[in-house]
Amino acid sequence: MTPTQERAARARVAYTHAAHELLVATQAELKALHWLQVAEVTYGPASTAANQGRGAWRAAVEVREKATVDMHARTEEMDQAQSALVTEARR
């Protein structure tokens, strides 16, 4: 395996990991939003439970946003590695 092929393989693994992290973060955000809505309906929008739920949901949104940024970076890495593979194959 050439160094370019190794780089592309590492980029694919990093991309797959980032995609998984984004999926998990999105699921956590949706779960937090669900429980926030349950708390608001059950105890009222101004309740302690709803306020705690809002905080958990905001934290989950931040984690998901970071995962999205990482996913974009890994996508760019993978695209660059793929381009390098194509260039190497043309030689």
Model pLDDT, residue 81:
96
Residue 51 is part of which domain span?
Answer: 3-90
pLDDT per residue as tens digits for the range 17-73: 999 999 999 999 999 999 999 999 999 999 999 999 999 999 999 999 999 999 999
Distances (CA, A) of 24 to 19, 47, 66: 9, 28, 12
Question: Which parts of 1-90 are beta strand (E)?
Answer: none
Give 32's Cβ-side CA count (13 Å radius).
20
How many whole angstroms from its chain centre is CA 15? 10
Packing angle, helices 48-90 and 3-43, rounded to 10? 160
Model pLDDT, residue 53:
97
Decide: 8 and 81 in contact? Cβ < 8 Å: yes
Model pLDDT, residue 66:
99
Model pLDDT, residue 91:
85
> Is the pLDDT confidence value at 16 over 90?
yes
The CA distance from 65 to 80, in Å, is 23
Model pLDDT, residue 78:
96
Residue 7 banded pLDDT, cuts 50, 70, 90: very high
Total count of domains within the chain: 1
